[in-house]
Amino acid sequence: MVAVELNGARRTIDWSEPWFDTVGAFGQEVAAASNVRTALDAIATRRGVSNARGAPIRFGAADAAGDAAYEEHIARTGEVPTRDNMHDLFNALVWLRYPRTKARLNMLQAHAIAEHGIGQRRGALRDAATLIDENAVFLITRREDIIEALQRHEWHRMFIAHRERWGEEIRAVVFGHALLEKLTAPYKGITAHALAVRLDARVPLVEVDAAVAAGLDAGLTPRRLLPLPVLGIPGWANNDDPAFYNDGAVFRPARTALAAGAPSSGG
């Protein structure tokens, strides 16, 4: 357990938890520093993190955008307004780990804002980009049967029948920063929006980042995202007993199964 000081208070995070696997090293480095934003900037400089226009990413004051839209300000200047709280800390850590995907999402959002303005409804592109940014898990696998099982909510097939393949042929990594914040106090019902990434599960994260960024375009809609109860992932909770997946409130059947009166595939 490592404490980080935010807004004058010490927050303790167990960076060893599997859902923090990809950002934990950066999190611990920031926690050891005397100033969070300065430490984040130093890591961003070291890693050459930039926005889609090539401007270096820096983590500025919460009000840095002024009257400009948040996404537009980042796309124009490279400065990410960052509040002194857990939510924005995780947002910054994701920028450090997945810079190409974050830059691509930011560019798509900024272009949509420039074209349509800030309205009461974001539209399909901005809705999908927001869901990915806030709540996505990348499901990395070449196994189409696993992606199909997720699409069909066949939880038994996904989490029990192929349990031994997780970590070798199937891997999940958290991208959404709001999801990371939720997982500081995990509970069974936490559900992510999963984005399938058809790569070998053991490829370096830099390849995952590049592949996801390359696959995001102006045709993005929420329909590409699939619900995934994250504590069902083998090794992410005390879920060795198949009965764990019998909770129909969490491991829900697909809507088509419900309409047909079919039983939940979670058992």
Per residue of the chain (267 residues), what is the pLDDT tens digit?
455 666 666 778 999 999 999 999 999 999 999 899 999 999 999 999 999 999 999 999 999 999 999 999 999 999 999 999 999 999 999 999 999 999 999 999 999 998 877 766 678 999 999 999 999 999 999 999 999 999 999 999 999 999 999 999 999 999 999 999 999 999 999 999 999 999 999 999 999 999 999 999 999 999 999 999 999 999 999 999 999 999 999 999 987 643 444 433 333
CA–CA gap between residue 147 and residue 194 (Å, rounded)? 10
DSSP 211: H
CA-based nearest residue to 177, from 167, 188, 192 = 192
**CB 154 within 8 Å of CB 265:** yes
What pTM was estimated for this model as a whole? 0.91
DSSP 147: H
